Every structure is written in structure tokens, then in C-alpha cells.
Amino acid sequence: MLKRIIAPTIAVLMALACAGCAQEAPPATVVTTAPTTQTTTPPTTEPPPPETTVPPEPDTVSILDFLTTATQPVGSTMYVWGGGWNEEDTGAGIEAVTLGLPSQWAAFADEQDAYYDHKETRYQIHDGLDCSGYIGWAVYNTLETSDGRPGYVCSSTKMAQQLSDRGLGEYIPAERVTHWVPGDIMSMSGHCWIVVGMCDDGSVLLLHASPPGVMFSGTTAPDGSSTQATALAEQIMAEHYPDWYTRYPHSARPYSYLTQSSALRWSDVMLDDKEGLRQMSAQEVVQLLFPAD
């Protein structure tokens, strides 16, 4: 996959003191037939101001590359509170600043059954990913070309703002978000996620690490009913990740994802859109992510 070199930031970025999913769990209520409940712990300290990332050479990495990278842990990585963080719980851990998929993630996922309880695996940080650990890993594996550089894991609630502050793109507060563009990194209270695309009915197909693990999900209608995105997410998981889908068939997420999330919209100088994803529907983006044989 294509990578790019990002100029090193100051060493303190490796110690972002904000709490992420390791302290802030995904939203407490999920609209599925088997809802998941978590508690949220507020951040303890504020991070230092980040340096601006120097733009890489143009035409090297695209939004499609980012989404393709983000699919790699899908269906083989469990949600683990603190996964992707360091032992001090202050920033990116070793897995989140290493290129590729650690074999331990899939090995741990293979050991789990349909009754996996993420509350029993807290801080088994090498066994899986939480939401900010997942996005930090995906951003690192898209932009970086070597291991051990400054990472991108920080507070889930502040992820969009923090990445914007580092020069990756425009920060859009939740009240100003009126549409959802492929590749957008979204932050809400206690959770963060990636936009794959909008469906014709206005629902959104997304990628995230949320109990039980890394998966495609779709947002419901305001009344909690099914949408094109929930149907599309279920279709993707059933067709491309059948073992996972057999154990964990529920992937719908509430409409509040759309009303309560701020956005990081990638700058063109950071990720180009040579494939034209920004003009595509979710269904069209999925065709690029899973081309027919």
C-alpha cells in the first residue's frame, strides 16, 4: 500500500495526555438487537499543542488508500479497551506505530466466541484495538513508511480536532456537519469513526472499532429503523467476513452518530482524491474496496 513520509513532530506528541478510548468508551447505547453498554471516563489532563505536519509529496496517497488500509483489521480484531495505546495510557503504543497487522490480533480474535465481553479484557493492550487506537493505527499505516515514528492515537472525543491541529485537514464542528465525505474522521463524546460513504437515503456506512471489534456499521434512521447503510454493512460483513458475521451479526449504530460528531476532512495536500470518492455513494465506494473477481 502507498505510504508517505510525515515530518517528525516534537517528542511530546508521543505523550499526548488526553484520554481516548482507553478512558472513553464508545457511546453507551447502540441501536441493535443486541445493544452494548459502556461507561465513559473523562480525560484527566490536556495535551500539549501539537506541531503542524509538513505536507508530503503530492499524488502519493489517496482517500481510497486510507479506506483500504482501514479495512485490514476488519473481522479479525477484537475491541479491547486500551488497545493501540501505550502502557502509560498517554498515547500510541507499539502496535499503533508499527506497519502491518500484528498476528496477535487475529490469534486473539480466533479464540473468542459469540459471547465475547470486552469488559473482561480491559487493558490487554496487545490483543486488539479500541476506537482511537484503531484510527491511530489506520492513519499511521497510511501516512508513514517506517516503524517507530510519532503516532496518531489520542482522545476519541478530540481526535478530529487533534488531527486537524496537526495539519491533516479541516476541523468541522458537529453543528456544521451537513454531509459525510468518504475518509472523514469523526469524533463524538467517547467515540471516533471513519466515514466510508453516504447512501441515497442519507444514512452513512462507516468503519470503527466498537464492541465486539473492528467492523463495518451503518447508521439507522432517526426512529432506529433499518436503512440502506445498515443493510449494506450487514451485506459486507456477511459476504466478506462470514466467520465474524456468524458470531457477531449486529452492526447497526444509532442516528446520533450523525448529529453528535465533529469531522476531520482531509486536506487535498495530505490525501488526494484521484479516484473521485468524494463524488461517490457508499455503494460505489464499496465496489472499489471489494472489486469483483
pLDDT per residue as tens digits for the range 119-161: 999 999 999 999 999 999 999 999 999 999 999 999 999 999 9
**Residue 33, in any domain of the structure:** no
**Residue 98, in any domain of the structure:** yes
pTM of this structure? 0.82
CA torsion through residues 147, 160, 214, 62, sign: negative
**Residue 166, in any domain of the structure:** yes
**Residue 29, in any domain of the structure:** no
Domain range for 67 is 60-289
| Burial (CB count within 10 angstroms: exposed 0-12, middle 13-18, buried 19+), residue 59 | exposed
Q: How many other C-beta atoms are found inside a 10 Å radius of the C-beta of residue 76? A: 19
pLDDT per residue as tens digits for the range 168-212: 999 999 999 999 999 999 999 999 999 999 999 999 999 999 999
Residue 14: the pLDDT is 35
- Does the structure show a pLDDT above 50 at 21? no
Comparison of pLDDT for 1 and 218, the residue scoring more: 218
Identify the band that residue 43 occupies on the pLDDT scale cut at 50, 70 and 90. very low
**Residue 144, in any domain of the structure:** yes
**Residue 210, in any domain of the structure:** yes
If one counts the domains in the chain, the total is 1
Residue 292: the pLDDT is 82
Q: How many other C-beta atoms are found inside a 10 Å radius of the C-beta of residue 154? A: 31
**Residue 76, in any domain of the structure:** yes
How confident is the model over 15-33, as a mean pLDDT?
39
- Does the structure show a pLDDT above 70 at 274? yes
Residue 60: the pLDDT is 83
Q: Which residues of 198-231 are buried (b: 16+ CB within 10 A; e: fewer)?
A: bbeeebbbbbbbbbbbbbbbbbbbeeeeebbbbe
- Does the structure show a pLDDT above 50 at 286? yes
**Residue 7, in any domain of the structure:** no
Please, which residues bridge with residue 193 across strands? 186
Comparison of pLDDT for 63 and 51, the residue scoring more: 63
Please, which residues bridge with residue 2 across strands? none
Q: Which of 38, 249, 217, 213 is nearest to 133 (CA)?
A: 213
| Burial (CB count within 10 angstroms: exposed 0-12, middle 13-18, buried 19+), residue 243 | exposed
Task: Quote the DSSP letter at residue 241.
Answer: -
Instruction: Copy the grid coordinates of residue 111.
Output: 479464540
Asked if residue 6 lies in contact with residue 53, where contact means CB atoms within 8 angstroms, the answer is yes
pLDDT per residue as tens digits for the range 58-110: 458 999 999 999 999 999 999 999 999 999 999 999 999 999 999 999 999 99
Q: How many other C-beta atoms are found inside a 10 Å radius of the C-beta of residue 52? A: 11
- Does the structure show a pLDDT above 90 at 37? no
